[in-house]
């Protein structure tokens, strides 16, 4: 990697992880990711904003050497998760005079997660500033993007917001700055869906807070830097709003084509009513794509056959994920088929503890769908359409 100047005396010194395929052993990374770390050389003091995943620490040290960094005064930790903080113990070994600057909650996390000793910290509070001489860092608490301790750092003179995960995207690219807004829209929405969607109500306050700052650039710690901050702020405002689209997401699994035939019928009927329909064949699905589709869909219909008297495990996984991500979905349906009965519908319904949704009458049929079963699906399609009209979802 390289040290890249983003403004006078401000450098990107992070690392691209081109080959990483999975985050948290859960989230697929089709475009890799980056760990963005930024060095700010003030006239008197030097600060490093966030670090990199420990697997990439040598790259960070090489990047610092390239711009002749021999001392660091402040190691700013906007977030305690190890992809940004994991290199702090190594940085403290190399720069023993440096102070880790963070809030009280983050300090507690870092002591627990990385065993950093108490004397290494300098705690900052809301709106507190640290002078680097000709440059000033100002700190704002932005909890729940996506941990309780998250904060952002604002570089006043240069009007840059260092936002860590907030406004970030899992994307490895040789373009440090956003070059294609469609591409970053998709990566950032996916990232929002995967880790921030459950906290959208709390995130509203954070967006309102940072919007009041005079920002010319948003430099997150994953993905590209925004020279047009309004773009990503407006995206977030849409995602955290209560607005939903006339859209039906269908996560489903089928073993012997009965559920598949029901799903196909449902798709056709909904398309004829003008709905956008997004089916996800679960055993073949990238769950990040599924999560992204949940950001603004009005309706989810889960499709599953019975396996050993319960729902198919793939449908259980998708339903668990849906409940965990707490999207703003308003309506949920369950469809599927069985051979000899069981408790599939109740088992799936009981999993929906975190979401406030209206449930449609399930369509649960025996064996291959027959004429009367398709009639039940027609009824479901009519019901979905009616609910959207009643709620003015267009
Ligand atoms: Fe990129 Fe929550 O760490």
Number of Cβ within a 10 Å radius of residue 321: 16
Q: Which residues pair with 280 in a beta bridge?
A: 251
**Ligand 1 centroid from CA 83, angstroms:** 6
CATH of the domain at 176: 3.60.15.10
58 and 155 belong to one structural domain? yes
Are 294 and 209 in the same domain?
Answer: no
Whole-angstrom CA distances from 319 to 133, 287, 294, 302, 341 are 53, 12, 12, 8, 20
Is residue 394, in this structure, part of any structural domain at all?
no
At 296-305, the pLDDT tens digits run 999 999 999 9
Residues framing ligand 1 (Cβ under 6 A): 79, 81, 83-84, 146, 165, 222
For the domain that residue 334 is a member of, what is the CATH number?
A: 3.40.50.360
CA-CA distance, 24 to 21, in Å (whole number)?
10
Same domain, 232 and 249: no
Q: Is residue 227 part of a domain?
A: yes
Asked, for residue 62, whether it belongs to a domain, the answer is yes
Query: What values do phi and psi take at 179, rounded to 5?
Result: -115, -20
Residue 214 CB: number of other CB atoms within 10 A?
8
Residue 340 pLDDT = 85
Average pLDDT value over all residues in the chain:
97
Q: Which atom of ligand 1 is nearest to 195's Cα?
A: 2
* pLDDT score, position 309: 87
Burial track 269-290 (b if 16+ CB lie within 10 A, e otherwise): bbeebebebbbbebeebebbeb
Would 72 be classed as within a structural domain? Answer: yes
The Cβ of residue 351 has, within 10 Å, a number of other Cβ atoms equal to: 18
Let me know if residue 14 belongs to a domain: yes
Q: What is the mean pLDDT of residues 121-141?
A: 98
Given CA atoms 21, 23, 25, 30 in this order, what sign does their dihedral have?
A: negative
Same domain for 263 and 223, yes or no, is: no
What ligand 1 atom has the least distance to the C-alpha of 146? 2
Is there a single domain that holds both residue 143 and residue 227? yes
Q: How many independent structural domains does the chain possess? A: 2
pLDDT in tens, 250-287: 999 999 999 999 999 999 999 999 999 999 999 999 99
**Predicted confidence (pLDDT) at residue 1 exceeds the cutoff of 80:** no
Which of 239, 256, 277 is a domain's end point? 239
Q: Do both 82 and 189 map to the same domain?
A: yes
Predicted pLDDT of residue 383: 98
81 alpha carbon to ligand 1 midpoint, in Å?
5
pTM of the complete model: 0.96
Say whether both 71 and 136 belong to one domain: yes
- Same domain? 228 vs 251: no
Instruction: Answer yes or no: is 26 within a domain.
Output: yes
- ∠159-160-162 over CA atoms, to 5°? 150
Domain that holds residue 315: 245-389
Q: pLDDT digits over 53-98, tens only?
A: 999 999 999 999 999 999 999 999 999 999 999 999 999 999 999 9
What residue's CA is closest to ligand 1, atom 2? Answer: 81
342 — pLDDT class (breaks 50, 70, 90): confident
Rounded to the nearest angstrom, the distance between the alpha carbon of 34 and the centre of ligand 1 is: 11
- The domain boundary, picked from 218, 239, 260, lies at 239
End residue of a domain, out of 205, 239, 273: 239
Q: Does residue 380 form part of some domain?
A: yes
Residues 313, 218 share a domain? no
Question: 220 with 317, same domain?
Answer: no
Q: Phi then psi for 336, rounded to 5 degrees? A: 165, 180
Same-domain pairing of 57 and 164? yes
Closest to 285 in 3D by CA, of 245, 317, 323 = 317
Give the residue, by CA position, lying nearest to ligand 1 atom 1. 165
Co-location of 194 and 254 in the same domain:
no
Query: Are 46 and 69 within 8 A, CB to CB?
Result: yes
């Amino acid at each position: 990697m390289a040290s890249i100047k983003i403004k006078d005396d401000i450098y990107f010194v992070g690392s691209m992880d081109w080959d990483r395929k999975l985050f948290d052993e859960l989230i697929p990374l089709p475009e890799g990711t980056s760990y963005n770390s930024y060095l700010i050389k003030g006239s008197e003091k030097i600060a490093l904003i966030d670090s990199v995943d420990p697997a990439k620490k040598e790259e960070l040290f090489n990047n610092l050497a390239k711009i002749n960094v021999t001392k660091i005064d402040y190691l700013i930790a906007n977030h305690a998760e190890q992809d940004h903080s994991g290199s702090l113990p190594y940085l403290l070994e190399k720069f023993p005079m440096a102070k880790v600057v963070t809030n009280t909650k983050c300090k507690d996390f870092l002591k627990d997660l990385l065993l950093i000793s108490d004397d290494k910290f300098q705690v900052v509070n809301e709106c507190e500033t640290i002078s680097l001489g000709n440059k000033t860092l100002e700190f704002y608490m932005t909890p729940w993007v996506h941990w309780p301790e998250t904060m952002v750092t604002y570089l006043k003179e240069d009007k840059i917001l260092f936002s860590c995960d907030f406004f970030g995207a899992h994307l490895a690219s040789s373009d440090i700055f956003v070059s294609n807004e469609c591409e970053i829209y998709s990566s950032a929405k996916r990232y929002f869906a995967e880790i921030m969607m459950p906290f959208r109500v709390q995130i509203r306050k954070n967006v309102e807070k940072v919007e009041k700052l005079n920002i010319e650039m948003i430099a997150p710690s994953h993905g590209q830097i925004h020279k047009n901050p309004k773009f990503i702020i407006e995206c977030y405002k849409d995602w955290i709003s209560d607005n939903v689209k006339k859209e039906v997401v269908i996560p489903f699994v089928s073993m012997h084509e009965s559920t598949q035939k029901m799903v196909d019928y449902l798709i056709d009927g909904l398309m004829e009513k003008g709905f956008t329909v997004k089916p996800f064949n679960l055993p073949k699905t990238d769950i990040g794509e599924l999560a992204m589709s949940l950001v603004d869909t009005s309706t989810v219909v889960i499709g599953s056959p019975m396996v050993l008297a319960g729902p198919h495990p793939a449908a259980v996984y998708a339903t668990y994920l849906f409940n965990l991500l707490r999207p703003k979905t308003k309506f949920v349906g369950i469809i599927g088929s069985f051979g000899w009965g069981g408790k599939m519908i109740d088992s799936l319904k009981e999993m929906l503890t975190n979401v406030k949704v209206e449930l449609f009458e399930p369509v649960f049929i025996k064996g291959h769908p027959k004429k009367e079963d398709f009639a039940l699906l027609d009824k479901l399609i009519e019901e979905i359409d009616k609910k959207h009209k009643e709620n003015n979802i267009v």
